[in-house]
Amino acid sequence: MTRAVAIAPAERRLALLKAAFREVAEKGFSEVTLDDIARRAGVSKGVTLYHFESKEDLFRELFGWLIDSIHGRMREAVAAAPDPVAKVRALIGVIFPSPSKNRAFFRAYLDFCGLASRHESFREVAGRFYDGCRDIDAAIAAEGARRGIFAVRDAGEAGVTMRAIFDGLMTRWLTEPDPDAVFDDYKRRCEREILRYLEGPAGREEAGRRR
């Protein structure tokens, strides 16, 4: 007789978060139900409600979990890069991993932004995401300025602008008729525009020689 394998609550919770992410990326937040999430995770709706009070609660925690994961990958990639330009490129590598991964994340993320614009609890999570991104981006800008590579005067402001370039290009990429075909073009464009912004007019001639 085969004995059932007990699953720890933390593992069950993680399975529900992953199932919710896949469901929202495919269908959109408004179309997803707790039954859909439970079915994909292989549990009952009752188990889902044991871990999360509502779909909104689950979605809020989902983005908290995604934020921690994304920040961790960005910090690791940036720390391993030897100089500010390489750090920008490493950061873009994390943000643009592949068409399928970017499509899944940004579809869910845009739904989340809509909720954040209307609900304070979601806005707090969004704020944590952008605060962490700003700190990572600003640290790169500040190091580049100290080393005479970047021309930015306000590293905090530069961090916000860098993130706006990332998000703007990624949102535009999602609306392309064939996003997969132009993914690499958008990735290269993101690198080019961020470095152009950070280096300023005076640094572009030197930057051209470096590349």
pLDDT single digits (tens) 42-67: 999 999 988 999 999 999 999 999 99
Per-residue model confidence (pLDDT) at position 170:
94
Give the model's confidence band at 6: pLDDT under 50 very low, under 70 low, under 90 confident, else very high: low
Q: How many domains does the chain have?
A: 2
Work out the mean pLDDT of the chain and round it to a whole number. 90
Distance CA 85, CA 141 (A): 9
Q: 47 φ, ψ to 5°?
A: -65, -40
Query: Is the same domain home to 108 and 142?
Result: yes
Query: Is the same domain home to 92 and 28?
Result: no
Last residue of a domain, one of 52, 68, 84: 52
Per-residue model confidence (pLDDT) at position 4:
41
Using CA atoms in the order 122, 108, 27, 23, what is the torsion angle rounded to 10 degrees? -90
Give the model's confidence band at 205: pLDDT under 50 very low, under 70 low, under 90 confident, else very high: very low
Query: Is the same domain home to 76 and 152?
Result: yes
Query: Is the same domain home to 21 and 78?
Result: no
Query: Is the same domain home to 70 and 43?
Result: no
Q: What percent of the chain has pLDDT over 90?
A: 76
Domain that holds residue 37: 1-52
Q: Which of these, 114, 92, 118, lies nearest to 173 by C-alpha position? A: 92
Query: Is the same domain home to 46 and 116?
Result: no
Per-residue model confidence (pLDDT) at position 8:
77
Query: Is the same domain home to 61 and 132?
Result: yes
